[in-house]
Structures are given as C-alpha cells and as structure tokens.
C-alpha cells in the first residue's frame, strides 16, 4: 500500500506488469540472481557455512535491508536509495 501511495503522489505508474506476465518474472529473476551473487555466494552477510534455513533467512533479511536502504547506487549519484528518497521529499516539500 505504501509503495502504491508513493507512486500516486508523484504521478508515477508502476513499472511492473500485470499479475503473471513476463515483466513480473524478469524482475524476480533479477532479484534472485543478485541475492545469490551478493548474499549467498559471499561471506558478506554470513561468515560461516550455511547450516540451517534460519542462516539463509537471516542473511537474506540483512541483504534486503542493505539493498533497499544502504547500497550506493550509481544511477542515483552514488548515494543510497534512502538518502535519495529523503532528498526527493525534502525538495518536494520545501519548493
């Protein structure tokens, strides 16, 4: 709901397709690939061998938090998505 509200405030149409179409599949395949490369196949979010499902769940939750909030994003001027969004709404309310 919150995501949809943000899009509506800025008059943005969602970039994902309707339920079950190819756009949904491409998006989730990209995220799954990034999770495997950046989280599962490295020691960044988990420093030991994967022993339980909980190990994977905890590391994935940490990766998602980093990915959504703290990663430096080249297309955003090498700032995090959280910083970019905060600046966007600050500019919108102060202008």
DSSP 7-60: HHHTT---SS-STTSHHHHHHHHHHHHHHIIIIITSSSS--S---SHHHHHHHH
Q: Please report, for the chain, the start and end positions of each structural domain, with discontinuous segments joined by +.
A: 2-94
**Closest alpha carbon to 34 in 15, 13, 86, 26:** 26
At residue 3 the predicted structure's pLDDT band, cuts being 50, 70 and 90, is: confident
- Predicted confidence at residue 10, as pLDDT, reads 81
pLDDT in tens, 36-91: 999 999 999 999 899 999 999 999 999 999 999 999 999 999 999 999 999 999 98
Is the pLDDT at 34 greater than 70? The verdict is yes
Structure tokens at 4: 């949809």
């Amino acid at each position: 709901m919150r995501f949809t509200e943000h899009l509506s405030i800025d008059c943005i149409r969602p970039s994902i397709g309707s339920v079950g179409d190819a756009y949904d599949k491409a998006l989730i395949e990209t995220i799954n690939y990034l999770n495997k490369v950046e989280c599962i196949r490295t020691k960044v979010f988990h420093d030991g061998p994967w022993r339980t499902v909980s190990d994977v769940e905890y590391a994935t939750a940490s990766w998602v938090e980093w990915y959504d909030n703290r990663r430096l994003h080249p297309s955003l001027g090498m700032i995090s998505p959280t910083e970019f969004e905060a600046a966007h709404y600050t500019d919108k309310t102060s202008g």
